Amino acid sequence: MEDISGYATRDWSKEGKLPFDPVFMLKVLVLQKYFNLSDDATEEQIFDRFSFQNFLGLRLGDEIPDAKTIWDFKQRIESEGRNGSVRLFEAFTHTLERKGLIAREGSIVDTSFTNAPRQRDTREQNQQIKEGKRPEEFDANPSVGRQKDCEGRWAKKNNETHYGYKNHAKVDLKSKLIIKSVTTSANVHDSQVFLELIDEQDRAVLADSAYYSEAHEDLLVSINAQEFLMRKATRNHPLNEREIKTNKTISRMRVRVEHVFGRMSQMGNHVCRSIGLKRASSHNHIANMVYNMDRHACLVR
């Protein structure tokens, strides 16, 4: 796993309390994501539940991290350009690969919304945010400005309105483990991150019709990967019988990715309590890692 010794919750000093062990704090984050807890609720549950204390290796009377310490640890993971959540996710993924749990016989690409706290801005403010500008009135009152998210976006799908971000994921077909992920704002089309998710290790790629294009088809041919992208009918160009049959075959296999996002929704990881793309990305990568831990337990059971 990733060396996280540099993520101590407090700097070493001759005075004051010693910092919590980073591995201990990582286990706290695992509990937090698994049970969908806020920082304050995590502190309370660690204090209240023997099962949490047992998982963390605590004994009665041991010091427990408070909500501010948990928040500070998450900040340190992402500080100074470390991209700690990405590296932690990749490190655990490499561990799964060494164990032979990731088959690489086929990869499914799909996207799920990560809903963030909804913003109540005026039309003028929304227009400025869409243009990449931050409204001046946000910073006129710092206490208000700190709660304003200028990176999340609105999106609508199947008559449902979402605000926040997207968790673009590549999932192993056989094991249903998440191999790679990218976080974007909610208005980014699924197909725009396809190139970032695909690599030469993919032997076959499955995806719904939103990902199909000639450029993506050529990419898969260039890396010698089998292409299983569903086709979509257009005006005056309906699908023929062969394409309909192929779509049904792909759909039967591709549906396995819905089990992944469904399990993450059960854990509450389709919602993040943070503001900004950087923190949303950190939330998604840690949530994906915790899902993989949960799935790993099922596979080795």
Q: Please write down the long-range contacts of 213-220, taking CB distance under 8 Å and 24 or more positions apart.
A: 216/191, 219/194, 219/195
pTM of the model: 0.89
Verify that 146 and 49 share a domain, yes or no.
no
* Matching residue, tokens 């660690």: 46
Verify that 271 and 175 share a domain, yes or no.
yes
The count of domains in the chain is 3
Verify that 198 and 213 share a domain, yes or no.
yes
Verify that 99 and 173 share a domain, yes or no.
yes
- pLDDT at position 16, please? 52
Q: What is the pLDDT along the chain (301 residues), one digit of tens a residue?
A: 555 555 555 554 445 566 789 999 999 999 999 999 999 999 999 999 999 999 999 998 889 999 999 999 998 887 755 678 999 999 999 999 999 999 889 999 999 999 998 888 888 888 888 888 888 888 887 777 788 888 899 999 888 999 999 999 999 999 999 999 999 999 999 999 999 999 999 999 999 999 999 999 999 999 999 999 999 888 888 999 999 999 999 999 999 999 999 999 999 999 998 888 999 999 999 999 999 999 999 998 8
Q: Write phi, then psi, for 241 (nearest 5 degrees).
A: -60, -40
* Matching residue, tokens 């500080």: 79
Verify that 224 and 105 share a domain, yes or no.
yes
Verify that 186 and 204 share a domain, yes or no.
yes
User: Where is the domain boundary, 101, 129, 151?
Assistant: 151
Verify that 163 and 279 share a domain, yes or no.
yes
- pLDDT at position 13, please? 46
Verify that 136 and 35 share a domain, yes or no.
no
- pLDDT at position 77, please? 87
Verify that 42 and 158 share a domain, yes or no.
no
Q: Say which CATH number the domain at 279 has.
A: 3.30.420
- Angle subtended at Cα 167 by Cα 231 and Cα 286, rounded to the nearest 5 degrees: 145
Verify that 161 and 239 share a domain, yes or no.
yes
- pLDDT at position 158, please? 85
User: Where is the domain boundary, 129, 151, 173?
Assistant: 151
User: Where is the domain boundary, 56, 82, 108?
Assistant: 82
Verify that 210 and 63 share a domain, yes or no.
no
- pLDDT at position 215, please? 93
103: containing domain: 85-116+153-300
Verify that 135 and 77 share a domain, yes or no.
no
